[in-house]
């Protein structure tokens, strides 16, 4: 697989992104053409996780209600009806909201279509919230909201309910909303904050505009927030930083602008997707504090150096993408601490200097993309010997050579693009005049003295003693 979970992003005829699982390595052209930049996501993982979370809650409801049925039969021998069904789907066009929206409940008369209002007090607030939101949606081409009628919100398409266990009873609540690819136009309303028991909100590939309401801070149970591929704007939605349970944040493909807050990388998030917006300014220096396994900062207007703390993100990190920004300076030496790294993409920036030897410690790296920068020097033998490497792209730089081991990459069926560099005797290289002056010749990159051959385990101690240093910027 490409990275951890790779989803191919296609643009449909309506101009919206469609996600399609692609279990194979992408063609080499993906790494060579600016129009086909790489994006990796954990969306597949988290959609599977979302299904399991909802299903787990519903499974508990089945067991609990089965016991209630037995008790009810033994004590009253009264007739009863079961309404609803379990129907967990990903996206409203892929079977979401089956049965009665994925809720199982007991009560009422035989085959009663909806539970008595008195038995579901939590749903009164949900009804208020969803009807207010429905009023703020101005276009619904797929007629999703035609089912949003009446007080039984658990029958609404895209709405999932489950039983919440309280101290002495259970209460039916809205556990999640999945309206991915619904193509809805409208705004997010403050009343959605009434859904305090909701654990996931998936709204990707719609046409929502405006900002994220400040009242969303009251969504204390929300674990997954996916607002990607909409038309939201304004500064970074800082309200997301005050959601105590949030672990998955996806706001990519919107029009957010301004700087990224430092608090983003202090929060206990597993996935951070802020790519394809209009964020600018420097990457916060506390990037290394983040416990996330995936961080995607691609396709923004971020500038300055990659923070020196970059190498100190926990070993949990699997994928990090800086591509297509305006970054300068050096690749930090501490990058070699990423023992679990699978995807590293710094392409389409203005990074200079030599590639740090510590890159050879990335024994799990599958995709390494350094293309379209101003890097120089030679590619080392150990770098081209990485055991998990599937694609190495260094095109459009100023490298002057590579080892014999790099030449063997073709025989290992590994994608290796070194075009438009300054390598003597090789085809498709830069004209000699372009290679006579190496960009960033006066740039001084902080490099840690390491033994030869490099002992990767020694990096932890060495880099810890150099955490106060950062790469200097090139002279004009």
* pLDDT for 452: 56
Three-class SS of the chain: CCCCCCEEEEECCCCCEEEEECCCCCCCHHHHCHHHCCCCCCHHHHHHHHHHHHHHHHHHHHHHHHHHHHHHHHHHCCCCCEEECCCCCCCCCCCCCHHHHCCEEECCCCCCCCCCHHHCCHHHHHHHHHHHHHHCEEECCCCHHHHCCCCCHHHCCCEEEEEEECCCCEEEEEEEEECCCCCCEEECCHHHHHCCCCCEEECCCCEEEECCCHHHHHCCCCCEEECCCCEEEEECCHHHHHCCCCCEEECCCCEEEECCCHHHHCCCCCEEECCCCEEEEECCHHHHHCCCCEEECCCCEEEEECCHHHHHCCCCCCEEECCCCEEECCCCHHHHHCCCCCEEECCCCCCEEECCHHHHHCCCCCEEECCCCEEEEEECCCHHHCCCCCEEECCCCEEEEECHHHHHHHHHCCEEECCCCCCCCCCCCCCHHHHCCCCCCCCCCCCCCCCCCCCHHHHHHHHHCCCCCCCCCCCC
- Ramachandran angles phi, psi of 285, nearest 5°: -65, -15
Task: Pick from 64-78, 110-124, 303-317, 451-465 the range whose average pLDDT is largest.
Answer: 303-317
CATH 3.80.10 fits 1-38+306-476, yes or no: yes
* pLDDT for 36: 36
Judge contact between 82 and 109, C-beta under 8 A: no
Categorize the per-residue pLDDT at 152 as very low, low, confident or very high, splitting at 50, 70 and 90. very high
* pLDDT for 293: 95
Percent of the chain with pLDDT over 70: 67
In sequence order, what are the beta bridge partners of 233?
Answer: 255
Mean pLDDT, the chain, whole residue set: 77
Tens digit of each residue's pLDDT (9 = 90 or more) over 167-214: 777 889 999 999 999 999 999 999 999 999 999 999 999 999 999 999
For residue 288, what are the contacts with CB-CB under 8 A and spacing of at least 6? 265, 307, 309, 310, 311, 312, 313
Categorize the per-residue pLDDT at 50 as very low, low, confident or very high, splitting at 50, 70 and 90. low
Burial zone of 341 (CB within 10 Å; 0-12 exposed, 13-18 middle, 19+ buried): buried
- Ramachandran angles phi, psi of 367, nearest 5°: -125, 120
Categorize the per-residue pLDDT at 445 as very low, low, confident or very high, splitting at 50, 70 and 90. confident
- Ramachandran angles phi, psi of 403, nearest 5°: -75, 170
In the chain, what are the domain boundaries?
Answer: 1-38+306-476
Q: What is the pTM of this model?
A: 0.75
């Amino acid at each position: 697989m490409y990275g951890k979970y790779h989803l191919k992003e296609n643009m449909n005829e309506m101009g919206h992104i469609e996600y399609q699982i692609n279990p194979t390595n992408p063609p080499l052209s993906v790494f060579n053409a600016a129009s086909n930049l790489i994006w990796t996501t954990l969306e597949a993982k988290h959609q599977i996780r979302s299904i399991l979370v909802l299903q787990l809650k519903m499974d508990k409801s089945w067991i609990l209600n089965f016991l209630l049925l037995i008790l009810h039969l033994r004590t009253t021998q009264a007739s009863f009806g079961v309404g609803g069904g379990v129907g967990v789907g990903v996206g409203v066009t892929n079977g979401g909201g089956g049965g009665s929206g994925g809720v199982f409940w007991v009560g009422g008369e035989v085959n009663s279509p909806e539970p008595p209002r008195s038995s579901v007090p939590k749903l009164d607030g949900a009804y208020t919230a969803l009807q207010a939101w429905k009023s703020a949606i101005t276009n619904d081409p797929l007629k999703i909201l035609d089912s949003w009628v009446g007080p039984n919100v658990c029958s609404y398409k895209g709405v999932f309910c489950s039983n919440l266990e309280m101290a002495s009873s259970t209460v039916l609540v809205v556990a999640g909303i999945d309206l991915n690819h619904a193509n809805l136009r409208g705004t997010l309303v403050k009343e959605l904050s009434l859904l305090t028991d909701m654990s996931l909100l998936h709204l990707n590939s719609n046409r929502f505009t405006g900002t994220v309401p400040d009242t969303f801070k009251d969504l204390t149970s929300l674990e997954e927030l996916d607002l990607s591929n909409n038309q939201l704007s304004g500064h970074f939605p800082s309200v997301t930083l005050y959601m105590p349970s949030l672990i998955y944040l996806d706001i990519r493909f919107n029009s957010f602008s301004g700087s990224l807050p430092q608090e983003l990388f202090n929060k206990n998030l597993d996935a951070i997707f802020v790519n394809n917006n209009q964020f600018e300014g420097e990457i916060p220096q506390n990037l290394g504090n983040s416990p996330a396994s995936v961080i995607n900062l691609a396709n923004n207007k971020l500038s300055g150096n990659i923070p020196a703390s970059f190498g100190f993100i926990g070993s949990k990190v699997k994928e990090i993408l800086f591509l297509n920004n305006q970054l300068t300076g050096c690749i930090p030496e501490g990058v070699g601490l990423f023992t679990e790294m699978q995807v590293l993409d710094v392409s389409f920036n203005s990074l200079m200097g030599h590639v740090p030897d510590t890159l050879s410690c990335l024994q799990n790296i599958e995709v390494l993309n350094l293309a379209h920068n101003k890097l120089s020097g030679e590619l080392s033998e150990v770098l081209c010997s990485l055991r998990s490497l599937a694609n190495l792209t260094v095109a459009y730089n100023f490298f002057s050579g590579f080892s014999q081991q790099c030449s063997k990459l073709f025989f290992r069926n590994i994608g290796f693009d070194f075009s438009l560099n300054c390598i003597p005797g090789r085809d498709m290289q830069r004209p000699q005049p372009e290679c006579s002056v190496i960009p960033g010749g006066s740039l001084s990159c902080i490099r840690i003295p390491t033994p030869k051959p490099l002992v990767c385990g020694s990096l932890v101690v060495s880099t810890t003693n150099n955490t106060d240093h950062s790469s200097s910027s090139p002279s004009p």
